[in-house]
Structure formats: structure tokens, C-alpha cells
Amino acid sequence: MTKRIRQGTVTAVAVLLAATACGGQQTPAPGEAGQPASSGQAGRGAGGVAVERARAFTLVASGDILPHSSVIDRAAADAKRLGYDFGPMLKGAAPLVSGADLAICHMETVYGEDGGPYSGYPYFKSPPEVAQGLRATGFDSCSTASNHTLDDGVGGIRRTLDALDKEGIAHAGSARSAAEAARPTLLKAGPGEHAARVAHLAYTYGTNDVPLPEGRPWAVNLIDEQRIVDDARAARRAGADVVAVSLHWGTEWQDEPDDKQLALGRALTAATSGGRPDIDLILGTHAHVPQAYEKVNGTWIIYGMGDQIAGAMINYEGAQDPRGNQSSMGRFTFAPPAAPGERWTVTKAEFVPQWYDTATGRIVSLNAAIDEGAGHHRAVRDRIRDVVLGRGAAADGLLMGK
């Protein structure tokens, strides 16, 4: 565990919050910029939105963006060799992403300098134009804590976050300064003054044995149960109505969540303050393959969404494994609490099966493709469905969406 520098009061955290011009906007916390403090204020659900005026919202999350060299080559071809264009390969996800009030991605790699050079496995440096593609698709925030966050040192972190900032995309999980690391990422779920505030937190199990930069223990958030709970509580105090946690965890190429995932998931969803869960949603990445969704202690966990974008994947047996290009996107509809101090509840939980076609370099929304007559996709869709529902999520109401 690294020691995180954290401000001790809501006001000190709020001073650090920066606004972004996007659909899911990063907003000042209560107590700053004319926002009333949430602590003890009647009619508010432990966040900044008055319960009687709050509106429901949808949150969509997607799996790993992992640009191998073949993916970078495809983006160059789509740009007619005049730079890189990642928009066309992401277009298949755009209707789902842009239709949500808040959309979260996982940016697994870091960005290189403008013009390159760029690289794939094992040390990734992706073109900063990835951020442009994410913005064009409709993403509002991306988790940036992964085992590849330190592939190009502090320069890689800085370039990545700079590029996301330029495109108006919020981020969580890595930082350029202690001050940035200390603040929660607070987002508005949709437009209007009555939109819910969602905290996005992100952590990784490790950094491929690359040590944290000297004097920068805050550069990447590492998974630690108590730290995550503490951060979630701090985000709630800073005005979050809903707390979503991205975790880069699990065992690669394993369809089933491993024992560490199961144990940490149980512990995090059991944490409460004042009778209210500290964490409202867990979004898992890293395993390269889709994993199950499960409702634990009343809170939804996605153990692993799989790779949304990746090149042809080779598993530990040295064989090309098509599971590495299969994924799901989670879509959750949150409704405001019935009374102040209660949690926002998920009234609808869905998963949407997807596949990245390495031959064409395009994301395919499988149900939409099947509806249009592409019956050969049915077996892939059904395999993803069976894995996602493998821990009984259907009994808790999880639906397959489009």
C-alpha cells in the first residue's frame, strides 16, 4: 500500500476540484463555489442534490482500452496515415455510451509524445489521439490505474492525463501531483442543477513490479481495502450521492473471479456509514476475459468486463484466444433515495455483450448485429451471457440489454 496524501476537511478537498465541460461534469463540492455544505442539511441524501428534486440517471461502464500495435496500425489506417483516428473502431459502442447520463471507460495504457514513437506489449505507449476517440464516443470519465500505468514513468502519466483533460474527460486512479491525488473525482450524472453527483475512484493491484516513482507515492492508486473505504467516505463527505469504484484486479484469462476478488468485493460492499453503504458500484477490469456480475450485500459488482479494444490476444498457453476480444458493458439505472440519508438504488441492471473484430478493427454490439441478421455472432454472444450470469445475477434482476 502507498500512503495517500489526503486533505482533512471537505473544504480543502473541494478547493482542488476542477470543472470539465462534458456531459458528466466534474463539479465543485458542497461548501465551495456557492454550493451549500451537505453535512446535516435537511432534504439531502448525504450528497449535494436535494432528494425531492433529484432525478434518476443511467451509468454505463466499459472494459479495458488496450491498444496493441495492431490497434495503433488500424487507427493510422483509419486516419489515412495522417495521424491516428480511434473513432471508427469505437463507433459500435457509441449509441450505448452517448445515450447514458454518465459513461466510464478504463484507459489501461499511457500515452506517448505527439508523433510517437508508440508501442504495444509489453511496455505500452499509445497515441494521445485515443482520448479524441473516447470523447467522440461520449465517455465522460476514465479510470487510469492499471498494471501498465508506469510503463513510461511519470511522463506517461502526465501525457495521458493532459490529453484526457484537453478532451474534457475526467479521470481517476493516477495523478500528476499530490494535490491531484488527494481529491475525489466528482462528476455530474447528466445536465441540470438537480443531476446526481457521482464519485469515481480507481485502483490497481500493482504495476508489473515497476516501483512507484521516487518521491511520488501518490502517482498510482494501489488496492488496499481500508484505503478504498476511507476514500469512498471522503468522497461522500465531499458531496457524492453515488460512489463508483473501478478496480483493476483478478487473474488473467480466468472466467471465474478469483478468491481475492470475491473477498475484497464482500468486504467493500459490507462497509457502511450511518447505515448506508459506502460504495454503490464496483467496476472490474484486467482479466482480458468477461467475468460475472453479482449483487453482493445489495451492491452490484462487475468482476471483469473484458477488453473492449485489444489486438489478437495470446493466452498463457501460447494460443490465440478469442475470449480476449470479448467484453460486456454494464448499464445501471440509479433512482434517488426515498428519504435523506438513504442510498440511491439501482432500479435496472443490464449488461450488453460486445466483441472487438480484429479483422476489421471495429467494436461490434452483438445483440444489435444479431438483430440485423448476423446470426454467426450468436455463439459468441451466448458465451458472454453465460459467463456474466454465472453467479446467479439473473435472479437479482440482471438483464441482457442492447
Tens digit of each residue's pLDDT (9 = 90 or more) over 355-364: 999 999 999 9
Reported as a single tens digit per residue, the pLDDT across 18-67 is 333 334 545 443 333 333 333 333 344 445 677 778 899 999 999 999 99
- Per-domain residue ranges of the chain: 10-400
Task: Name the DSSP class of 195.
Answer: P
In sign, the C-alpha dihedral spanning 88, 93, 98, 102 is negative
Pairwise CA distance, residues 319 & 340, whole Å: 54
Task: Name the DSSP class of 126.
Answer: B
Reported as a single tens digit per residue, the pLDDT across 107-147 is 999 999 999 999 999 999 999 999 999 999 999 999 999 99
Pairwise CA distance, residues 231 & 4, whole Å: 10
Residue 6 has pLDDT above 80, yes or no: no
Reported as a single tens digit per residue, the pLDDT across 66-78 is 999 999 999 999 9
Question: What element of type H or E holds 200?
Answer: strand 196-204
Higher pLDDT: 285 or 13? It is 285
Mean of pLDDT over the chain: 90
Closest CA to 7 of 15, 38, 296: 15
Pairwise CA distance, residues 44 & 196, whole Å: 11
User: How confident is the model over 257-264, as a mean pLDDT?
Assistant: 98
pTM for this prediction: 0.90
Determine the pLDDT at residue 52.
75
Determine the pLDDT at residue 24.
52
- For helices 259-270 and 225-237, give the axis angle rounded to 10 degrees: 30
User: In which band, very low, low, confident or very high, does the pLDDT at 190 lie, cut at 50, 70 and 90?
Assistant: confident
C-alpha cell belonging to residue 9: 476537511
Determine the pLDDT at residue 5.
25
Burial group, residue 272, by CB count within 10 angstroms (0-12, 13-18, 19+): middle
C-alpha cell belonging to residue 91: 463507433
Closest CA to 33 of 53, 43, 50, 48: 48
The CATH class given to the 10-400 domain equals alpha beta
Pairwise CA distance, residues 102 & 57, whole Å: 8
